[in-house]
Amino acid sequence: MRMTLRHTRSRRRALATAAGATAVALTTTGCLGLGTAGGYVPSAQLAGQLAKTKSLDGETISVGSKNFTENILLGKMAIILLKSAGAKVTDLTNIPGSASARDAMLDGQIDAMWEYTGTGWITYLKHEKPIPDEQKQYVAVRDEDKKKNNLDWLPPAPMNNTYSFAVTKKVADKFHITKLSQLSEVPKSQRTFCVESELINRPDGLKGMLKKYDVPLGSGVPRKNLRVYQTGAIYDATAHGKCNFGEVFTTDGRIVALHLKVLEDDRSFFPKYNVSFVLRDKTLKDNPQIAKLFAPVSKKLTNNVLLQLNAKVDVDGEEPADVALDWLKKEGFVK
């Protein structure tokens, strides 16, 4: 299934050494041997509107993440927040793949991690069709996962890390295009796409998107107009004019680094992937203040914020924990 592939691979350059350490722990000792991502994660002191949050002193909480940059960065952010509130936190970030991370949470090895509503709905809860409305998608995932698995999804962030297509400024200006519904106004010969092979034929991938926007594959976009690349190579190929439209993930830091412009999915074809902090029911019941701790932070996590933070890791080479701490300090959540 498309969504399983989407979040089970490392979509960005992550921490290779840490990923290897975690992978060894998983394969050599089984699920009960989940290792940590390693490395130092700083703590601070809660500040601003979080300063009066009820202390988590005496609580032990394990935080997980998958092994791509954004999820690692958010995992480190959660660890910093919980440590700053007084909790003893076990770092289980950087787990290879959605399946391993999800199993660890269902088994009770992970108490909390950031998850995506689209992944929850389609990959974990096995629904075929996404719900176009972001809030309705969140509510549906929240209610069903609570009922079936005793997992609590806190209110999601506004960021939506989904698929879309991006163009250079030159292409945007040439064709006066800002949204996918304008593809039909671009000359057929110029409807060239850089994509992964896996995205091309699925009805919920490129084929379905082109049909939704009235330029179906074949008649609207000739197959000879497709350029097939590995995921990581698409961004550079698009930026260097190998095609006019490149497949991207909407919060990938390379969008900023390469000065690409993401086209608006104005007919809501692609599923919504708003991120939410998810906790085991017992963890939240024992520590209801965690919801108040994360609420203002989640509200600040927009697409633009994640684009900038991801770029600091993937482009500038900074450590996710440092990037997370700097942002939390900048926003006045910790000091």
Of 13-27, 140-154, 229-243, the poorest mean pLDDT is in: 13-27
* One domain, residues 141 and 153: yes
Q: Which residues contact 111 (CB under 8 A, 6 or more apart)?
A: 61, 62, 63, 279, 280, 283
Of 28-37, 216-225, 278-287, 307-316, the poorest mean pLDDT is in: 28-37
Model confidence at 151, in pLDDT bands (50, 70, 90)? very high
* One domain, residues 194 and 215: yes
What pLDDT sits at residue 2? 36
User: Does residue 291 have a pLDDT over 70?
Assistant: yes
Last residue of a domain, one of 243, 262, 281: 262
Of 36 and 245, more confident: 245
Average pLDDT on 63-67 reads 95
pLDDT tens readout for residues 243-267: 999 999 999 999 999 999 999 999 9
* One domain, residues 34 and 104: yes
Tally of structural domains, the chain? 2
Residue 98 lies in a domain: yes
What pLDDT sits at residue 42? 86
What pLDDT sits at residue 233? 94
- With beta carbons less than 8 A apart as the criterion, state whether 148 and 28 touch: no
User: Does residue 170 have a pLDDT over 60?
Assistant: yes
Q: Using CA atoms, how far apart are residues 242 and 36, in angstroms rounded to an integer?
A: 40
What pLDDT sits at residue 37? 54
pLDDT tens readout for residues 1-19: 333 344 433 333 333 333 3
What pLDDT sits at residue 86? 97
* One domain, residues 242 and 192: yes
Q: CATH number of the domain that 281 lies in? A: 3.40.190.10
What pLDDT sits at residue 39? 66
User: Does residue 179 have a pLDDT over 70?
Assistant: yes
* One domain, residues 109 and 21: yes
Element (H, E) at 95: strand 88-95
* One domain, residues 215 and 253: yes
Q: Look up residue 220 and give its amino acid.
A: G
- With beta carbons less than 8 A apart as the criterion, state whether 274 and 216 touch: no
* One domain, residues 258 and 282: no
What pLDDT sits at residue 5? 40
Q: Using CA atoms, how far apart are residues 57 and 37, in angstroms rounded to an integer?
A: 23
Assigned token pair, 95: 């787990």
Q: Which residues contact 52 (CB under 8 A, 6 or more apart)?
A: none
Global pTM?
A: 0.85
**Domain housing 250:** 163-262
Greatest mean pLDDT range, 119-133, 165-179, 196-210: 165-179
Q: Which contacts qualify for 279-286: CB closer than 8 Å, 24 or more apart? A: 279/111, 279/112, 279/151, 279/152, 279/154, 280/105, 280/108, 280/110, 280/111, 280/112, 280/150, 280/151, 280/152, 281/146, 281/150, 281/151, 281/152, 282/150, 283/61, 283/111, 283/112, 284/152, 286/59
